[in-house]
Amino acid sequence: MTTWQYIGKSDPARVAALLSAVPFSDITDRVRREMTIVCCHTQDCDDSPGFARVIYCAEIGQTLFDLFFNAASGYRGAYFESPENGLAANRQLLQAVTEKLLSWSGEHCKREDSNLIRRSLSASSAKAWVAETTLELCASCSGEWSTSHKSDLEIANGRWERENHTHAEWGRQAPAFRKLKIFGGFVNDSSGEYVAPHKVHRANDIWKRGWS
């Protein structure tokens, strides 16, 4: 892999932890064990009537979020290696957390359609990402990231910092957040799946710029 470094101001212990090369399988296992699910919502698709998805928000703590989102061995680090590796890491995470998500929603969100939730989480476009302020659905999933956010620490990997694009400016940042959102894919009753045009190339976008 191309050298993955950090520039900016940060606690040396944080940088040391980020550089410790924790295997992604260990990171996903920690997410499964340590995440505290705070909410679950079903969201209709505005662009394609009849499609809906499930969205979960979970607290995973700053240290684990850092490893997951900002480490070379983490989620975005897998996409940096290749879009294919990123997609594999995404599947690995979803496989690790799906049963816990289903169990939680079965207990706390009994009005939600369990069949829809399972289909949505199994969709090829299901994914994990940060909690964005524009996508808040309740107080529990209040956003941490906004377009004006600036991190004290940035990632320098020889690609993301060279892209002259707004998404690259966001992607090379290493935010110290605590929340993780799991987005199921938009599905319908016929097991069809809708992917928004600007998300069709998500894996390649993260590979290129660290963001989608």
DSSP for the chain, please give it: ----EEEE---HHHHHHHTT---HHHHHHHHHHH-EEEEEEEEE-SSSTT-EEEEEEEE--HHHHHHHHHSTTSHHHHHHH-HHHHHHHHHHHHHHHHHHHHHHHHHH-TTS-HHHHHHHHHSTT-EEE--BGGG--SGGG--SB-TT---SEEEE-SSGGG--SHHHHHHTB-----EEEEEPPEE-TTS-EE--GGGTTHHHHHHHHS--
- The tokens for 162 are 């060279």
pLDDT at 53 over 50: yes
- Backbone phi and psi for residue 182, each to the nearest 5 degrees, phi listed first: -110, 120
Q: What is the 3-state secondary structure (H, E, C) of 50-110?
A: CCEEEEEEEECCHHHHHHHHHCCCCHHHHHHHCHHHHHHHHHHHHHHHHHHHHHHHHHHCC
Per cent of the chain over pLDDT 70 is: 99
State the average pLDDT for the chain.
Answer: 96
Determine the average pLDDT of the residues in 141-169.
95
Residue 112's pLDDT is 82
pLDDT at 209 over 70: yes
pTM summary value: 0.94
pLDDT at 107 over 90: yes
Binning pLDDT at 50, 70 and 90, where does residue 1 land? very low
- Domain boundaries, given as residue ranges, for the chain: 5-40+55-112+128-133+140-179+201-209
If you compute the radius of gyration of the chain from its CA atoms, what whole number of angstroms results? 17
Residue 2's pLDDT is 60
Contact in structure between 70 and 175 (CB atoms under 8 Å): yes
What is the number of other CB atoms lying within 10 angstroms of the CB of residue 61?
15
